[in-house]
Amino acid sequence: MSSVRRPTLALLAVSAAVLACQDGTGAAPSGDRVAVSVSESGCSPSTVTVPSGPVTFVVTNAGTETGEFEIVLADTRVIDEVENIVPGFVVNMSTRVDGGTYQMICGNTQAPKGALTVTGGAASSLQPNAVVDQAKLDAVRDGYATYVNDQVTDLVAKIGAFTAAVESGDLAEAKALYAPARIPWERIEPIAELFPDLDQAIDFREEDFDGGVEDPGFKGFHKIEKVLFKDGTTDGLAPLVAELRANVDELKKRVDALVIDPRVMARGAGELIEEVAQSKMTGEEDRYSQADLVSIDANVDGSARIVDGLRPILTDLDAPYLAKLDAAGKAVEEIIARYATTDGGYKPFDAITADDLKLLQARLADLSELLAELPGRLGLAA
């Protein structure tokens, strides 16, 4: 993934009229609202203090590039985030935080990080969901957690085979295993991205680093992809594939211990499609291997799995909305299927015709905007 993505139509509809006042000290004013500006220079203010419990961050992008705002726990797990903030726009992020110390990522992951101090103890428990029966929602969440754990287990196995091929110097086998090894990762990106240190080490692209392709921080999938497919060699990759394998093993440990927030699950369905619509329709994700359609299909699969888990709830809650989701998802899948190959893979990204590319972009935008409504319809927006 890219650490900062391009804006979507849904984001462009956000009003820039929402502003908040702050006393300039970084302490949250009355009403537990705190204003933070993000930019390529980091956070302003750079330190913030709030009481435990509910808080709304009023985030202004004061930079020149599309940016993000994340609250990250000391163990590098994302607590909450808002992405794709267009320069000059203001977005409210309502969340709940326990007492402790956190980092704030402002603008992008390369910018200086801010410090968030939360006074008091544990935040009061969330109110029972007024829209969906909590027990049903928890059951869906638990089913999704099982799916995520299965995908991470598959990821470990596929990375093992892929890295073994690289280490043995078998260039043809390594290239053949590259795209399949990415499928489980792409299906569960909303969960993997909860750990920004691993996300950066495993899946960031060259443009996410100041030094580009030569930056020492550029590692993981896409550095290995570049060497395999552009340079045409496995030489020098042994340290990189060993690090990739270790990072994937670490991801499994963290996911095994993770209790997934239903909000993360609900938002994840839309985030997967949003990422495809923003950054994968240019062919820049897997630019050297041309395997973008494999990644795109995996993102669509991961999103559909969340919707399928919620299907019984959505059937009772809003069957017409579910029908729209199904129709929009089918429209996307129909175009992707045109480029499937007989061996279960996909044609290179540059095989997509201009007309199909334009149509797929439009259908992805439709699906993305529908999925953006999902958390709110489930009572999970805040």
- Position 128 scores a pLDDT of 60
- Position 309 scores a pLDDT of 97
Please report whether residue 166 resides in a domain. Answer: yes
Please report whether residue 43 resides in a domain. Answer: yes
**What confidence tens digit (pLDDT) does each residue in 174-226 have?**
999 999 999 999 999 999 999 999 999 999 999 888 899 999 999 999 999 99
Q: Which alpha helices (H) appear in the chain, and where do they start and end?
A: 9-12, 134-167, 171-187, 189-192, 196-203, 220-225, 238-256, 262-275, 292-337, 354-371, 374-377
Q: Is 333 helix (H, G, I), strand (E, B) or coil?
A: helix
Residues 246, 324, single domain; the answer is yes
Residue 206 sits in a domain whose CATH number is: 1.20.1420.20
Six-digit token string for 291? 């395997």
7 within 8 A of 368, measured Cβ to Cβ: no
φ and ψ at 102, to 5 degrees?
-140, 165
CB atoms within 10 A of CB 74: 9
> Phi-psi region for residue 32, left (φ > 0), alpha (ψ -120 to 50) or beta?
left
Residues 19, 164, single domain; the answer is no
Residues 40, 100, single domain; the answer is yes
Q: What distance in Å separates the CA atoms of residue 174 and residue 169, rounded to the nearest whole number?
A: 8
What range defines the domain where residue 70 resides? 9-119
Residues 104, 223, single domain; the answer is no
CA atoms within 13 A on the CB side of 254: 19
Q: What distance in Å separates the CA atoms of residue 382 and residue 380, rounded to the nearest whole number?
A: 6
Q: Residue 54 is which amino acid? A: P
Please report whether residue 280 resides in a domain. Answer: yes
Please report whether residue 382 resides in a domain. Answer: no
Residues 92, 32, single domain; the answer is yes
- Position 208 scores a pLDDT of 87
Lowest mean pLDDT among 2-6, 12-16, 186-190, 345-349: 12-16
Strand 47-51 relative to strand 53-61: parallel, antiparallel, unpaired? unpaired
Q: Given 96, 119, 142, which residue is the final one in a domain? A: 119
Q: Given 119, 147, 182, which residue is the final one in a domain? A: 119
Residues 188, 279, single domain; the answer is yes
* pLDDT band (50, 70, 90) for residue 333: very high
Q: Across the chain, what does the average pLDDT equal? A: 89
Predicted confidence (pLDDT) at residue 6 exceeds the cutoff of 50: no
Residues 203, 99, single domain; the answer is no
Q: What distance in Å separates the CA atoms of residue 221 and residue 179, rounded to the nearest whole number?
A: 10
Q: Given 57, 92, 119, which residue is the final one in a domain? A: 119
Give the total number of structural domains in the chain. 2
- Position 30 scores a pLDDT of 40
Residues 208, 282, single domain; the answer is yes
Six-digit token string for 162? 């892929």
Average pLDDT, stretch 146-169?
98
Residues 362, 253, single domain; the answer is yes
Please, what is the Cα angle at 229 between 225 and 231, to 5 degrees?
A: 105
Q: What distance in Å separates the CA atoms of residue 133 and residue 20, rounded to the nearest whole number?
A: 34
Contacts of residue 354, defined as CB under 8 A and 6 or more positions apart, other chains included, come to: none
- Position 16 scores a pLDDT of 33
Please report whether residue 4 resides in a domain. Answer: no
Residues 102, 185, single domain; the answer is no
Please report whether residue 335 resides in a domain. Answer: yes
Six-digit token string for 21? 């006042």
Q: What distance in Å separates the CA atoms of residue 48 and residue 107, rounded to the nearest whole number?
A: 16
202 within 8 A of 192, measured Cβ to Cβ: yes
Please report whether residue 2 resides in a domain. Answer: no
Residues 175, 241, single domain; the answer is yes
Residues 190, 322, single domain; the answer is yes
* pLDDT band (50, 70, 90) for residue 2: very low
